[in-house]
Chain A
Amino acid sequence: MLKVLDSAVPIACWSCAVAHNESTLFCPHCSKIQPPPGADYYSVFSLEPRLTLDLGMLEHQFHKLSRKLHPDRFARATPEEKDWSLADTALLNDAYRTLRDPIRRTEYLLKLHGAEIGEEHSGKGRTDPSRVPADLLEEVFDLNMQLEEMRAAKKMGEEDPDLKQSLTEAKKKFDGLLDDVDNDLRTQWTAWDDGDASARSAAQKTMLALLDRRRYLDNLVRDVNETLGAN
């Protein structure tokens, strides 16, 4: 569910017919439930589309809306309203899960602004070489070799303590690199939220590179955890 940021299109409430400009789950005039709005996740919570987000406010809004959408409240409602309460709840949950997570939120908002992220967009053309984290490749490759060795040894019922030690250290290092990336991303959030058009586009480019780097690291840490954890 990804729609253009446009909450300015007036929608007439099905119940009271008063037009409202908000992509809201409930009519601001008569408080009746509305069909799932086709706008973005931010407007579901009446939040500004920013990367820096007040998570307390988000959670508060989520609980408030969840209560209002509870099926018990629609026990005697029309079939349409019952359906909408379910569809709105699904939308609300998706929106909350996406915005609560700093990485998913960043990817979501950049996608809303036209950035191409993820495997589904990569078939269109050649990979921009600037987006390949070259300094990481060598380490990534070596680590993968060690992981393969470790898995092979495990299959044979053997365990190499040196290899385990080295993997544990590598994991620590990559965990640290992940933290660095997350901190760098947070720095860019401010530039993106508050900057002018050119600052915003520079921040977007930096963030896309950081997200790529993060995906690499994330996959690695996951693989190391799986291999080390399967004891």
Chain B
Amino acid sequence: MAYSDKVVDHYNNPRNVGTLDKSSSEVGTGLVGAPECGDVMRLQIRVNPETQVIEEAKFKTFGCGSAIASSSLATEWIKGRTVDDAMAIKNTDIVKELSLPPVKIHCSVLAEDAIRAAIGDWKKKNGVAEAAPAATATAQ
């Protein structure tokens, strides 16, 4: 099984590797792991408290190429989005973008879980209610 070009690209040249200050109230940290393969992934976001826009996203992943590529892509996608927008990212989007084979789908699940965990941590820190029901149904 060969990795797709996009996976190889993210693997060789991962975006947004690094660490944000965990203790900052603007930073949310998500740490998740995949029991199937023993991978572990940390994804951090720094959210603008005024606009709720994710201004910075960093990750560090110990795992296979697909896990690294999935988290690298996830940080790229959530940067510039609002927290609510970022929650809409689905693992299937990652699978499609990276052309992940079925045995590597769990890597994308891990990345989605990491996004949710980071946002959940940020919400908890800032007293934002989890999954606000019927959020501002503005008719367009």
Contact = CB atoms under 8 A, between A and B. Distances in A.
Interface of A: 118-123, 126-127, 131-133, 136-138, 140-141, 144-145, 148, 212-213, 215-216, 218-220
Interface stretch (B5-13, B36-44, B72-80, B81-89): B36-44
Interface string B22-65: 00000000011111111010100000000000000000101000
A28 B26 CA distance: 74
25 contacts: A119-B36, A119-B37, A119-B103, A119-B106, A122-B34, A122-B37, A123-B105, A123-B106, A127-B35, A127-B106, A132-B32, A132-B33, A132-B35, A133-B35, A136-B33, A137-B33, A138-B31, A141-B40, A141-B42, A144-B62, A148-B62, A213-B35, A215-B36, A215-B38, A220-B38
Contacts of A218: 38
Nearest to B113: A127
Contact of B36 (A122, A148, A220): A122
B38, B106, B110 interface centre (most CB from chain A within 10 Å) = B38
A226 to B, nearest CB: 14
Contacts, number: 65
B40 A144 contact: yes
A220 B34 CA distance: 14
B36 A137 contact: no
Nearest 7 pairs of A and B residues by beta carbon? A212-B35, A219-B38, A123-B105, A122-B36, A123-B102, A122-B106, A144-B62
